[in-house]
Copies of this chain bind each other. A is one copy, B any other.
Amino acid sequence: MANNDRKHIVEALLFASDFPLSVKKISEIIEDITEEDAAEIVRDLRTEYENLERGFILRHVAGGYEFVTRPEFAVWVKKLQAERRRSRLSRAGLEITAIVAYRQPVNRADIEKVRGVDSGGPLRTLLERNLIKIAGREKAPGRPLLYKTTDEFLRFFGINSLSDLPQLEEIEDIIQHDAKETGMAIEQLHVAGGNSGAEEMRSTD
């Protein structure tokens, strides 16, 4: 293995790893390099990235090495990540959105009755994100506020109208299917030895 190849394999490993990679781990994965080799390669890479002034550097942390973006660029990276975070709903948020979507207009007590837990916090977040809105008060004791979904809700989930929401029973068939494959469901078959006739047949060793 050429030196340059080794270096680039180490680079690929560092890039794809979920955690800071130790030189020990690197030498375990690439069989023909020692821990010392790995240490040298990583040191070289580190200096190289430092001098190249690219978008990211190799950082020595927690007994290992990992690629991180350059601190100077943090302001842009944060912008990217903030947007990304906004793009997901929490479990609670998703549950409440589902209850409002399917039972609207619905009051907070009913949402909490279905979920079995206090839902004030996530409800506020959903209002702030404009996925649900207040749609008047219920004509009932205490006149509780009623919640409905918004147009932003439709956009967020990529549908045109509330009538496009799948009915539970419509997709229950899919939800309850175990992901088992259809067709003739036999992959392997044990055949007792003795019946031959096959010209090219190797027994298991």
- For residue A166, which residues in chain B have a CB less than 8 angstroms away from its CB? 134, 145
Q: What distance in Å separates the Cβ of A51 from its nearest Cβ neighbour in chain B? A: 13
Are A121 and B182 within 8 A (Cβ)?
yes
Are A80 and B145 within 8 A (Cβ)?
no
Main secondary structure of the interface of A (DSSP, over half): mixed
Contact with B along A117-134 (1 / 0, CB 8 A): 111111111011000011
Are A29 and B145 within 8 A (Cβ)?
no
Are B197 and A9 within 8 A (Cβ)?
no
- For residue A67, which residues in chain B have a CB less than 8 angstroms away from its CB? 15
Q: What distance in Å separates the Cβ of A172 from its nearest Cβ neighbour in chain B? A: 10
A166-B134 Cα distance, complex, nearest whole Å:
8
Q: What distance in Å separates the Cβ of A97 from its nearest Cβ neighbour in chain B? A: 14
12 of the cross-chain contacts (CB-CB < 8 Å) are: A4-B53, A9-B76, A13-B80, A15-B55, A16-B80, A29-B79, A124-B177, A135-B158, A189-B192, A196-B197, A196-B198, A197-B197
